[in-house]
Amino acid sequence: MVKVIMGLKGHGKTKQLIELVSRAAEEEHGDVICIERDAALRYDVPVSVRLIKLSDYKLSGYTALKGFICGLCAGNYDITHIFMDGLFKLAGTESLNEAEEFLDWCDSFSNREGVKFTLTISCDEAAATEGIKKYF
C-alpha cells in the first residue's frame, strides 16, 4: 500500500502525516519508521517511532533512497510502515516522472515485503501525473 499526500507548501500535509504516524504507532503491530530531511518532527512523533534524519546520511537521488529503504528492511523484518515527509527534498529532485517511478517501486516493494508507505509531496495536486494520482 502506498498513499501520497500532495499539496502546496502550507496546506497541512505534514500535520496530516503526523496524525497518521501517531495512529500507526498506536495501532500497528510492528515498527514504524518516519524519514525526514531534517529533524523538524522530533517533538511531533511518538517516541516509539524510529525518526530518521536523512541529511545525516548524505544521500541524493531515488536510487540511493531505494537502497536506504532496502537496507532498513533488511536489517529489521518488523517494519510495517514507512512514512516520508517531503519526497522531493529527500530525493533531491522535483521531477514528477521520477517520483512516479519511485512510487511504483514502493508499491511493488510494499506488495512483496508487506511494508506500507505514506509520503508527502510538496507540489500542486493539479500537476500530478496519472501515475501519481493513483496513490491519492
**Segment 125-134, tens digit of pLDDT:** 999 999 999 9
Give the full edge-to-edge strand order of the sheet including 2-7: 2-7, 116-122, 79-84, 31-36, 50-53
- What sign has the CA pseudo-torsion 46, 28, 132, 66? positive
Single out the residue of 28, 27, 31, 26 nearest to residue 75, CA to CA: 31
pLDDT band (50, 70, 90) for residue 59: very high
Q: What integer pLDDT is reported at residue 98 of this predicted model?
A: 98
Q: How far apart are CA 113 and CA 25, in angstroms?
A: 19
Q: What integer pLDDT is reported at residue 23 of this predicted model?
A: 98
C-beta of residue 32 within 8 angstroms of C-beta of residue 21: yes
**Segment 69-123, tens digit of pLDDT:** 999 999 999 999 999 999 999 999 999 999 999 999 999 999 999 999 999 999 9
What percent of the chain shows pLDDT beyond 70?
100
**Segment 1-56, tens digit of pLDDT:** 999 999 999 999 999 999 999 999 999 999 999 999 998 999 999 999 999 999 99
What's the predicted TM-score (pTM) here? 0.97
Range of the domain at 88: 2-133
Number of Cβ atoms within 10 Å of the Cβ of 116: 19
C-beta of residue 125 within 8 angstroms of C-beta of residue 11: no
Q: What integer pLDDT is reported at residue 71 of this predicted model?
A: 98
Give the CATH number for residue 100. Answer: 3.40.50.300
Q: What integer pLDDT is reported at residue 52 of this predicted model?
A: 98
8-state DSSP, 94: -
Single out the residue of 48, 115, 105, 119 nearest to residue 81, CA to CA: 115
- The count of domains in the chain is 1
